[in-house]
Amino acid sequence: MAEFLTDLLAWFGDNWSGSTGYITRTWEHLWVSGWAVLAAMGVAMPLASWLGHARRGGILAISVVNVGRALPSFGIVALSLPVTIRIARNVPFIDSGLGFLPTFVALFALALPPIFTNTYTGVRNVSPEAVEAARGMGFRGTGILWKVELPLASPVILAGIRTSSVQVVATATLGALVAYGGLGRYIIDGFALRDNVTIFAGALLVAALSVLTEVAFSIAERWLVPRPLRNVGTQQRPEAAASVAR
Protein backbone atom coordinates (compact mmCIF):
# COMPACT_ATOMS: atom_id res chain seq x y z
CA MET A 1 0.00 0.00 0.00
CA ALA A 2 2.70 2.46 1.04
CA GLU A 3 4.75 1.34 -1.91
CA PHE A 4 1.83 1.98 -4.25
CA LEU A 5 1.42 5.52 -2.90
CA THR A 6 5.13 6.21 -3.32
CA ASP A 7 4.98 4.95 -6.89
CA LEU A 8 1.90 7.08 -7.52
CA LEU A 9 3.59 10.22 -6.22
CA ALA A 10 6.66 9.43 -8.28
CA TRP A 11 4.43 9.02 -11.34
CA PHE A 12 3.03 12.52 -10.91
CA GLY A 13 6.57 13.86 -10.55
CA ASP A 14 7.85 12.07 -13.65
CA ASN A 15 4.99 12.57 -16.10
CA TRP A 16 3.98 16.22 -16.08
CA SER A 17 5.82 17.55 -19.12
CA GLY A 18 6.36 16.66 -22.73
CA SER A 19 4.00 15.47 -25.47
CA THR A 20 2.81 12.54 -23.33
CA GLY A 21 2.84 14.49 -20.04
CA TYR A 22 -0.40 15.18 -18.25
CA ILE A 23 -0.35 18.92 -18.94
CA THR A 24 -0.48 18.24 -22.67
CA ARG A 25 -3.02 15.43 -22.14
CA THR A 26 -5.29 17.71 -20.13
CA TRP A 27 -5.09 20.36 -22.83
CA GLU A 28 -5.99 17.77 -25.51
CA HIS A 29 -8.88 16.60 -23.36
CA LEU A 30 -10.29 20.11 -22.96
CA TRP A 31 -9.61 21.05 -26.60
CA VAL A 32 -11.79 18.35 -28.14
CA SER A 33 -14.44 18.76 -25.40
CA GLY A 34 -14.68 22.50 -25.94
CA TRP A 35 -15.07 22.25 -29.71
CA ALA A 36 -17.69 19.52 -29.37
CA VAL A 37 -19.83 21.53 -26.93
CA LEU A 38 -19.51 24.73 -29.00
CA ALA A 39 -20.53 22.89 -32.16
CA ALA A 40 -23.47 21.27 -30.39
CA MET A 41 -24.59 24.66 -29.09
CA GLY A 42 -24.33 26.10 -32.60
CA VAL A 43 -26.61 23.41 -33.99
CA ALA A 44 -29.01 22.66 -31.14
CA MET A 45 -29.74 26.10 -29.73
CA PRO A 46 -31.08 27.87 -32.86
CA LEU A 47 -33.26 24.90 -33.78
CA ALA A 48 -34.56 24.34 -30.24
CA SER A 49 -35.26 28.01 -29.54
CA TRP A 50 -37.16 28.35 -32.79
CA LEU A 51 -39.23 25.23 -32.04
CA GLY A 52 -39.82 26.38 -28.46
CA HIS A 53 -40.81 29.85 -29.63
CA ALA A 54 -43.23 28.40 -32.18
CA ARG A 55 -44.43 25.97 -29.48
CA ARG A 56 -44.00 23.02 -31.81
CA GLY A 57 -42.24 19.69 -31.67
CA GLY A 58 -42.89 18.72 -28.03
CA ILE A 59 -42.79 15.04 -28.87
CA LEU A 60 -39.45 15.52 -30.63
CA ALA A 61 -37.99 17.13 -27.51
CA ILE A 62 -39.10 14.23 -25.31
CA SER A 63 -37.80 11.63 -27.78
CA VAL A 64 -34.43 13.38 -27.92
CA VAL A 65 -34.05 12.97 -24.14
CA ASN A 66 -35.01 9.32 -24.19
CA VAL A 67 -32.89 8.39 -27.17
CA GLY A 68 -29.99 10.40 -25.77
CA ARG A 69 -30.18 8.45 -22.55
CA ALA A 70 -30.25 5.10 -24.34
CA LEU A 71 -27.17 5.78 -26.48
CA PRO A 72 -24.11 3.94 -25.14
CA SER A 73 -21.27 6.47 -25.23
CA PHE A 74 -18.71 3.74 -25.82
CA GLY A 75 -20.64 2.58 -28.87
CA ILE A 76 -20.97 6.10 -30.24
CA VAL A 77 -17.23 6.78 -29.86
CA ALA A 78 -16.40 3.46 -31.52
CA LEU A 79 -18.95 3.96 -34.26
CA SER A 80 -17.48 7.35 -35.18
CA LEU A 81 -14.21 5.79 -36.16
CA PRO A 82 -15.27 3.77 -39.25
CA VAL A 83 -17.42 6.76 -40.24
CA THR A 84 -14.64 9.35 -40.05
CA ILE A 85 -12.16 7.00 -41.70
CA ARG A 86 -14.46 6.87 -44.72
CA ILE A 87 -15.01 10.63 -44.64
CA ALA A 88 -11.28 11.27 -44.52
CA ARG A 89 -10.71 9.07 -47.50
CA ASN A 90 -13.25 10.89 -49.63
CA VAL A 91 -12.67 14.49 -48.52
CA PRO A 92 -9.26 15.70 -49.71
CA PHE A 93 -8.46 18.36 -47.07
CA ILE A 94 -9.05 16.06 -44.07
CA ASP A 95 -5.80 14.22 -43.65
CA SER A 96 -6.71 11.78 -40.86
CA GLY A 97 -9.83 9.92 -39.83
CA LEU A 98 -8.18 8.89 -36.59
CA GLY A 99 -7.74 10.75 -33.32
CA PHE A 100 -9.39 14.16 -33.08
CA LEU A 101 -12.08 13.73 -35.73
CA PRO A 102 -13.89 10.59 -34.44
CA THR A 103 -13.62 11.84 -30.86
CA PHE A 104 -15.08 15.19 -31.87
CA VAL A 105 -17.91 13.65 -33.89
CA ALA A 106 -18.91 11.31 -31.03
CA LEU A 107 -18.77 14.01 -28.37
CA PHE A 108 -20.72 16.40 -30.60
CA ALA A 109 -23.48 13.81 -31.00
CA LEU A 110 -23.61 13.15 -27.27
CA ALA A 111 -23.63 16.87 -26.42
CA LEU A 112 -26.70 17.58 -28.54
CA PRO A 113 -29.59 16.08 -26.49
CA PRO A 114 -29.20 17.99 -23.18
CA ILE A 115 -28.64 21.33 -24.93
CA PHE A 116 -31.51 20.77 -27.32
CA THR A 117 -33.97 19.64 -24.67
CA ASN A 118 -33.15 22.30 -22.12
CA THR A 119 -33.24 25.11 -24.66
CA TYR A 120 -36.56 23.84 -25.96
CA THR A 121 -38.21 23.39 -22.55
CA GLY A 122 -36.67 26.63 -21.26
CA VAL A 123 -38.16 28.71 -24.06
CA ARG A 124 -41.37 26.72 -24.16
CA ASN A 125 -41.98 27.08 -20.42
CA VAL A 126 -41.60 30.86 -20.28
CA SER A 127 -44.88 31.96 -18.72
CA PRO A 128 -47.49 32.90 -21.32
CA GLU A 129 -48.23 36.03 -19.25
CA ALA A 130 -44.70 37.34 -19.79
CA VAL A 131 -44.97 36.70 -23.54
CA GLU A 132 -48.41 38.30 -23.60
CA ALA A 133 -47.12 41.36 -21.75
CA ALA A 134 -44.24 41.71 -24.23
CA ARG A 135 -46.65 41.44 -27.12
CA GLY A 136 -48.78 44.12 -25.46
CA MET A 137 -45.76 46.41 -25.35
CA GLY A 138 -45.22 46.01 -29.07
CA PHE A 139 -42.61 43.26 -29.33
CA ARG A 140 -42.83 41.02 -32.41
CA GLY A 141 -41.81 37.37 -32.94
CA THR A 142 -38.00 37.55 -32.95
CA GLY A 143 -38.01 40.46 -30.50
CA ILE A 144 -39.97 38.33 -28.03
CA LEU A 145 -37.53 35.45 -28.51
CA TRP A 146 -34.42 37.58 -28.00
CA LYS A 147 -35.60 40.04 -25.39
CA VAL A 148 -38.01 37.94 -23.32
CA GLU A 149 -37.94 34.20 -23.91
CA LEU A 150 -34.19 33.57 -24.13
CA PRO A 151 -33.24 35.72 -21.10
CA LEU A 152 -35.93 34.07 -19.01
CA ALA A 153 -34.89 30.64 -20.25
CA SER A 154 -31.18 31.32 -19.69
CA PRO A 155 -30.84 29.40 -16.40
CA VAL A 156 -32.38 26.28 -17.92
CA ILE A 157 -30.33 26.61 -21.11
CA LEU A 158 -27.16 27.07 -19.08
CA ALA A 159 -28.03 23.99 -17.04
CA GLY A 160 -28.28 22.05 -20.30
CA ILE A 161 -24.89 23.29 -21.46
CA ARG A 162 -23.49 22.29 -18.08
CA THR A 163 -24.92 18.78 -18.29
CA SER A 164 -23.54 18.40 -21.81
CA SER A 165 -20.12 19.71 -20.89
CA VAL A 166 -19.73 17.48 -17.86
CA GLN A 167 -20.77 14.50 -19.95
CA VAL A 168 -18.48 15.43 -22.81
CA VAL A 169 -15.48 15.85 -20.52
CA ALA A 170 -16.25 12.45 -19.01
CA THR A 171 -16.68 10.74 -22.37
CA ALA A 172 -13.61 12.35 -23.93
CA THR A 173 -11.73 9.80 -21.83
CA LEU A 174 -12.81 7.22 -24.39
CA GLY A 175 -11.07 9.21 -27.15
CA ALA A 176 -7.95 7.19 -26.33
CA LEU A 177 -9.68 4.20 -27.93
CA VAL A 178 -9.78 5.93 -31.30
CA ALA A 179 -6.15 7.04 -31.18
CA TYR A 180 -6.78 10.45 -29.65
CA GLY A 181 -4.78 11.74 -26.68
CA GLY A 182 -6.50 13.14 -23.65
CA LEU A 183 -6.35 11.78 -20.12
CA GLY A 184 -8.02 8.51 -21.08
CA ARG A 185 -4.72 7.57 -22.67
CA TYR A 186 -3.23 6.69 -19.29
CA ILE A 187 -6.12 4.41 -18.33
CA ILE A 188 -6.30 2.60 -21.67
CA ASP A 189 -2.54 2.18 -21.91
CA GLY A 190 -2.41 1.17 -18.26
CA PHE A 191 -5.06 -1.49 -18.89
CA ALA A 192 -3.03 -2.84 -21.79
CA LEU A 193 0.19 -2.96 -19.77
CA ARG A 194 -1.55 -4.03 -16.53
CA ASP A 195 0.19 -1.05 -14.95
CA ASN A 196 -1.86 -0.22 -11.85
CA VAL A 197 0.02 2.98 -11.04
CA THR A 198 -0.66 4.52 -14.45
CA ILE A 199 -4.30 3.32 -14.37
CA PHE A 200 -4.87 4.86 -10.96
CA ALA A 201 -3.10 8.11 -11.83
CA GLY A 202 -5.19 8.42 -14.98
CA ALA A 203 -8.38 7.78 -13.03
CA LEU A 204 -7.45 10.48 -10.52
CA LEU A 205 -6.78 13.02 -13.28
CA VAL A 206 -10.03 12.22 -15.11
CA ALA A 207 -12.10 12.39 -11.92
CA ALA A 208 -10.45 15.67 -10.93
CA LEU A 209 -11.12 17.22 -14.32
CA SER A 210 -14.83 16.24 -14.20
CA VAL A 211 -15.25 17.64 -10.73
CA LEU A 212 -13.49 20.86 -11.79
CA THR A 213 -15.80 21.16 -14.79
CA GLU A 214 -18.84 20.89 -12.50
CA VAL A 215 -17.36 23.48 -10.15
CA ALA A 216 -16.48 25.83 -13.00
CA PHE A 217 -20.05 25.72 -14.23
CA SER A 218 -21.60 26.36 -10.84
CA ILE A 219 -19.39 29.44 -10.53
CA ALA A 220 -20.29 30.50 -14.08
CA GLU A 221 -23.97 30.11 -13.26
CA ARG A 222 -23.61 32.51 -10.34
CA TRP A 223 -22.02 35.05 -12.64
CA LEU A 224 -24.24 34.67 -15.66
CA VAL A 225 -27.71 34.04 -14.31
CA PRO A 226 -29.54 37.10 -12.99
CA ARG A 227 -30.20 36.71 -9.27
CA PRO A 228 -34.00 36.39 -9.43
CA LEU A 229 -33.68 33.49 -11.85
CA ARG A 230 -31.13 31.48 -9.88
CA ASN A 231 -32.10 28.04 -8.64
CA VAL A 232 -34.47 27.69 -11.56
CA GLY A 233 -31.86 25.87 -13.58
CA THR A 234 -30.75 23.50 -10.87
CA GLN A 235 -34.32 22.67 -9.95
CA GLN A 236 -35.17 21.76 -13.49
CA ARG A 237 -31.97 19.88 -14.13
CA PRO A 238 -32.99 16.37 -13.07
CA GLU A 239 -36.21 16.52 -15.07
CA ALA A 240 -35.24 18.48 -18.13
CA ALA A 241 -31.70 17.32 -18.67
CA ALA A 242 -30.89 14.25 -20.64
CA SER A 243 -28.09 12.34 -19.01
CA VAL A 244 -26.17 9.96 -21.20
CA ALA A 245 -24.42 6.92 -19.86
CA ARG A 246 -20.80 7.87 -19.88
Partner 1 sequence: MTLVAEAFVDWGWIGDNLDEIWDKVAEHLVLTGIALGVGLAISLALAALALRFRRSYTPITWMTGTLYSIPSLALFAFLVPITGFTTLTAEIGLVSYTLLILIRNIVAGIDGVPPDIKEAAVGMGYGRLRLFFEIELPLALPVIVAGMRIAAVTTIGLVTVTALIGKGGLGFFILRGLQRFFSTVGSTEILIGTLLSVVLAVIVDVGLLLLERALTPWARRKVA
Interface ranges with partner 1 (CB under 8 A): 4, 66-67, 69-76, 78-79, 81-82, 85-86, 88-89, 97, 166, 169-171, 173-174, 177-178, 184, 187-188, 190-191, 196, 199-200, 202-204, 206-207, 210-211, 214, 238, 243-246
**Minimum CB distance to partner 1, residue 125 (Å):** 20
Distance CA 164, CA 113 (A): 8
Contact between residue 156 and residue 233 where contact means Cβ atoms under 8 Å apart: yes
In this complex, which beta carbon is closest to partner 1, that of residue 21 or of residue 72? Answer: 72
Per-residue CA distances from 100 to 63, 96, 125, 162, 238 (Å): 29, 9, 37, 22, 31
Report how far Cα 136 is from the mean position of its chain's Cα atoms.
Answer: 38
Distance CA 185, CA 32 (A): 14
Which of 211, 190, 207, 212 shows the shortest CA–CA distance to 199? 190
* Residue 44, amino acid: A
In this complex, which beta carbon is closest to partner 1, that of residue 123 or of residue 183? Answer: 183
**Minimum CB distance to partner 1, residue 133 (Å):** 34
In this complex, which beta carbon is closest to partner 1, that of residue 38 or of residue 207? Answer: 207
**Minimum CB distance to partner 1, residue 151 (Å):** 29
In this complex, which beta carbon is closest to partner 1, that of residue 63 or of residue 142? Answer: 63
**Minimum CB distance to partner 1, residue 100 (Å):** 16
**Minimum CB distance to partner 1, residue 162 (Å):** 12
In this complex, which beta carbon is closest to partner 1, that of residue 140 or of residue 194? Answer: 194
* Residue 222, amino acid: R
**Minimum CB distance to partner 1, residue 47 (Å):** 23
Contact between residue 184 and residue 173 where contact means Cβ atoms under 8 Å apart: yes
**Minimum CB distance to partner 1, residue 64 (Å):** 14
In this complex, which beta carbon is closest to partner 1, that of residue 220 or of residue 229? Answer: 220
What b-and-e string marks burial along 199-223, b requiring 16 or more CB atoms within 10 Å of the CB?
Answer: bbbbbbbbeebbeebeeebeeebee
In this complex, which beta carbon is closest to partner 1, that of residue 48 or of residue 183? Answer: 183
